[in-house]
Structure 1
Amino acid sequence: MLVAVCGLWVAVRAGGVEPPWPGSALLAFTPWVVVPAVVGLGVAATIRDRWATAAAAATVLVLALVVVPRSWGTGGESDGVVLRVMTANLRVGGADATTIVDLVRDNRIDVLALQEYTPEAGDAFDRAGLAALLPYRVADPEPLGIGSALFARTPLTGGATPVDPGGFVEATATVHPAGAAAVMVRSVHPCAPYTRAHERCWQRGLAGEPRATTRGTARLLMGDFNATLDHPGLRRLLASGYRDAAATTGTGLKPTWPEDLVPVATLDHVLVDARIGVRTVSVHPVPDTDHRAVCAVLTLPGQPDAG
């Protein structure tokens, strides 16, 4: 039974199937399935059940192929203008603003994306001195955790605060780093598939995110995707031409949620299109929120010649 359950789980994951709720939520724990899969392989081998052993071995092999590359990376460092970014879910505005401002200062962050940005959070960040570090902003503070914001060290243009199918604001703007080509940035936050009713809006939210492009302005998506690299919706978004910054640098198995309990799932991501390089990714605990903050050091192509 253990081998059968693990084998079915892996077949769903490898086949790109979107299972009905609660299967979609459970897919977030796919990396942990390697533990019972290895146990099943050991038991099957001990009792010398050839068919169960073969099935268990195949399950462990597929899991390894799917999960292990996130820990060694695929290579993403490149020359270019450095852009340091950070994303954090504030848990209905309750995250400790001083800690986040300290992270911005210590990591020399150029662009900060915040989710669940409330009016109270806006006041807290003003008091903590965020504007002195990142003076440019596109923000829509809203109650009930649906607000969003972008803060930047250099000017933002084309600022907008579109609302996704789940009702969450996703602050969007183009950042203009000194000496580099402009980058479109979005603070991503689709609704979470924590009930059957919310599963559809979660799927529509992921499907509605801007696809990667190799023309025009480079694209950078970061935030709480409420999805891991094992969810078909996020994998389809990646297939359009994005790379997950953490997986690229070998830190893709570092969990970001739930920080207030035991972090077991990587729901927060920085996605970059093919023109953006990735040097490092790190995750950081923040008091009074259930998500860890994610920082990434990226590289951008230089400013195109005016002529």
Structure 2
Amino acid sequence: MIRMGVSILGWGLLVAGVLASAVLLILRLVPELHTWHSSVIAVASFIPLLWIPVLVACVGLILVLRARWRLLGAAVLVAATTVFAVPLLPAPERSDTPIEVGSTLTVLSLNLQYGQADVEQFTSLLTEDVDVLALQEYTPTFEENLAEAGLLEQFPHQAGSADTDASGTMLLSRTPVELAARTEGTAFENLIVTTTVDGTTWHLGAIHTAPPQMGADRWSDDAAAVGRLAEPYLDQNLLLVGDFNAIDQHHTMRELTSDGAVHDLAARGPGGGPQWHPTWPAGSWIPSFARIDHALASDGVLGGVTRFETVTGSDHKALLVEVAARP
């Protein structure tokens, strides 16, 4: 009786694990499928968790097999665990040879969730090194809170707009900014400004694309609009930060980075740690599982995302981005 129960459990885990693994693997290998429907986009968000159904299937296989054959199942489990664990191991140490760089730029980016982010906690993340704030879902109420906290005096130069819904996007800077370009027809405001820090000119974009809930077409169209927005500045010191509403493996992010014109600053580099830093949802009983907030930079920009911080009131983590321009 016990053996029958174990067998039934094993088959259940095996079938469920294999089916879930197959779905995620197909979505990983054929990203064009993501544009079919918003539900497909949502399922594809779990691609980084592919290891879970694979290990579930392996456990099911062990329970189904009998006697010495279980050793085969155990071997498969060890092999699968190794495959998924290797990318999380520390990479080789960086070279001691210094890379010559020019001016540096530090940006703090956060989706404020309708302006509900706690201003005091947000302020605690700021240091004198932070040059620019890139804020999505920026509302008039949050702007008033910033003014009361004295932050608008520290960052007196701005580009963008405040809105009562999720469409407000704002760049606040210590140095003067000039609006270079903005998207038209996107769900939320996306813009690029130019600013000069320590003699180096930067093209900085605040990005907030449509979420999958607005439909697959709107989701992919907004991402394409961001690509067109950035295209004229790819040979400059370009940095795009914000809420892209897509993980690295989603079709839209692959399209943005496929030609190598921009690279993901949160991706794992030589000597770096794990590359998976989920940013959503934050501050919830659901653990963060999707990195939909990104920092993309042009080829002449070096650096990375140095911190991922939770701010009460926001369902996204804040990104502190530090970059330098090649001289």
Whole-angstrom distance in 1 between the partners of 2:92 and 2:29: 20
Structure 1 residue 159: Cα displacement: 4.7
Whole-angstrom distance in 2 between the partners of 1:138 and 1:193: 27
Match in the other structure for 1:282: 307
1:36 to 46, 50, 53: 53
Q: Any stretches of 5+ residues in structure 2 without a counterpart? A: 1-14
Larger Rg: 2
Q: Is 2:191 the counterpart of 1:168?
A: no
Q: Is 2:207 the counterpart of 1:188?
A: yes
Q: Is 2:122 the counterpart of 1:105?
A: no
Match in the other structure for 2:107: 85
Whole-angstrom distance in 2 between the partners of 1:155 and 1:124: 22
Q: Which amino acid aligns with 1:119?
A: P
Give the secondary-structure state (helix, strand or coil) at the position aligned to 1:105.
coil
Whole-angstrom distance in 2 between the partners of 1:73 and 1:131: 43
Match in the other structure for 1:301: 326
Whole-angstrom distance in 2 between the partners of 1:164 and 1:62: 46
Whole-angstrom distance in 1 between the partners of 2:88 and 2:292: 17
Whole-angstrom distance in 2 between the partners of 1:215 and 1:88: 24
Q: Any stretches of 5+ residues in structure 1 without a counterpart? A: 303-307
Conservation of the 8 A alpha-carbon contact between 1:74 and 1:250: no
Conservation of the 8 A alpha-carbon contact between 2:176 and 2:196: yes
In 2 relative to 1, CA 63–202 (structure 1 residues): closer, same or farther, beyond 3 Å? Answer: farther
Q: Is 2:253 the counterpart of 1:234?
A: yes
Structure 1 residue 92: Cα displacement: 0.7
Conservation of the 8 A alpha-carbon contact between 1:242 and 1:272: yes
In 2 relative to 1, CA 228–244 (structure 1 residues): closer, same or farther, beyond 3 Å? Answer: same
Match in the other structure for 1:148: 169
In 2 relative to 1, CA 126–30 (structure 1 residues): closer, same or farther, beyond 3 Å? Answer: same
Structure 1 residue 237: Cα displacement: 0.2
Structure 1 residue 102: Cα displacement: 2.4
TM-score of the aligned structures, taking structure 2 as reference length: 0.79
Match in the other structure for 2:241: 222
In 2 relative to 1, CA 292–207 (structure 1 residues): closer, same or farther, beyond 3 Å? Answer: same
Match in the other structure for 1:252: 275
What is the Cα-based RMSD across aligned positions, in Å?
A: 3.2
Whole-angstrom distance in 2 between the partners of 1:70 and 1:30: 19
Whole-angstrom distance in 2 between the partners of 1:147 and 1:257: 19
Whole-angstrom distance in 1 between the partners of 2:61 and 2:233: 49
Conservation of the 8 A alpha-carbon contact between 1:70 and 1:253: no
Q: Which amino acid aligns with 1:118?
A: T
Whole-angstrom distance in 2 between the partners of 1:232 and 1:71: 28
Whole-angstrom distance in 2 between the partners of 1:8 and 1:69: 23
Conservation of the 8 A alpha-carbon contact between 1:10 and 1:62: no
Conservation of the 8 A alpha-carbon contact between 1:21 and 1:199: yes
Conservation of the 8 A alpha-carbon contact between 1:162 and 1:172: no
Give the secondary-structure state (helix, strand or coil) at the position aligned to 2:117.
coil
Whole-angstrom distance in 1 between the partners of 2:177 and 2:32: 39
Off by >6 Å, runs of 4+ in structure 1: 73-77
Q: How many pairs does the alignment contain?
A: 293
Work out which structure has the larger RCO, using CA pairs closer than 8 Å and 6 or more positions apart in sequence.
1
Conservation of the 8 A alpha-carbon contact between 1:71 and 1:253: no
Give the secondary-structure state (helix, strand or coil) at the position aligned to 2:222.
helix
Give the secondary-structure state (helix, strand or coil) at the position aligned to 1:3.
helix
TM-score of the aligned structures, taking structure 1 as reference length: 0.83
Whole-angstrom distance in 2 between the partners of 1:96 and 1:145: 17
Structure 1 residue 126: Cα displacement: 1.3
Match in the other structure for 1:21: 38
Q: What is the aligned-residue identity percentage?
A: 24
